[in-house]
Amino acid sequence: MDAFVNVEDLCVSFGDLAVVRDVSFSIRRGETYGIVGESGSGKSTILRAMLGLHHAWTGRMTVDSQPLGKRRDRSSYRKMQMVFQDPYSSLHPRKTVDSLLSEALAIHDIPDRFERVATALRSVGLDPAFRYRFPHQLSGGQRQRVAIARALIIEPEIVLLDEPTSALDVAVQAEILNLLQDMRAARNLTYLLVSHDLGVVTHMCDRVAVMRNGVFEEEVDCTQTFAPAKSYGQQLLALSEGRPATEASAAMLGPQSCPSDQKP
């Protein structure tokens, strides 16, 4: 299958500091591709360069064979959206949920905004009455559901996931990861997921790149089992196996359900 997303020789710098060096990978349509590594290894920087939030990069990036430049138009943003790590800071505190979701529709001139907001909230397990609440009136899990709804309401094909559960407690992590899996299957979405949690990445992803100090050390197929060939990946695996499986990974079973606290 041809690559839907292709990144070649990506380098990202902040001044004289090279944060990402000669990174290359490809993602098939409908696949979940993961990047795992320690904090500060450059994982999130790759996502921000792909989304156009960092301009100091070199290399080549394409989506569906179309090049991604350093400046993006609205059509590229409609094709690719991002869910950020911290649901407490990614939502404007003075805007209602309705305003946050409607704003994305307005930017892209998408009609029927009232109905679309209600549908988007239902799709992430929230009652439409949540549209009248402010972020401070929501739990962490509810905020991340709103963030996912905001990313998906304009119907992108690619979603960049920047540690989407790391700010949540383990029980809520499982709910959000299950939701993301359900949305991927229902909409044939393509995901790029970065995390330092090996259990989450290997459970969610088809293939995983192991990243260290700004470079990819290796790529591992996760369709059967995560079996890195190089020492750093083996160290990550040993650390992961040296402690009990996270409750989030263990709880990722069965279809997505709407917990009782999602009702207003």
What percent of the chain is helix, strand and coil (3-state, nearest 5)?
A: 40, 25, 35
Residues in contact with 84: Cβ distance below 8 Å, sequence separation at least 6, in sequence order: 90, 147, 162, 164
pLDDT of the residue at 243: 44
C-alpha–C-alpha distance, residues 88 and 216, integer Å:
30
Residues in contact with 206: Cβ distance below 8 Å, sequence separation at least 6, in sequence order: 31, 32, 33, 221, 222, 223
pLDDT of the residue at 264: 61
Category of 84 on φ-ψ map: left (φ > 0), alpha (ψ -120 to 50) or beta? beta
pLDDT of the residue at 128: 95
Per-residue pLDDT tens listing for the chain (264 residues): 579 999 999 999 998 899 999 999 999 999 999 999 888 899 999 999 999 998 899 999 999 999 998 888 888 888 999 999 887 888 999 999 999 999 999 999 999 999 999 999 999 999 999 999 999 999 999 999 999 999 999 999 999 999 998 878 888 888 999 999 999 999 999 999 999 888 888 889 999 999 999 999 999 998 777 888 888 888 888 887 764 434 444 444 444 444 545 656
Alpha helices in the chain (DSSP H): 43-51, 74-79, 97-107, 113-123, 140-152, 170-187, 198-204, 231-241, 247-251
pLDDT of the residue at 168: 85
Whole-model pTM above 0.85?
Answer: yes
C-beta of residue 204 within 8 angstroms of C-beta of residue 32: yes
One-letter amino acid identity for 256?
A: Q
C-beta of residue 149 within 8 angstroms of C-beta of residue 101: yes
pLDDT of the residue at 262: 60
pLDDT of the residue at 245: 39
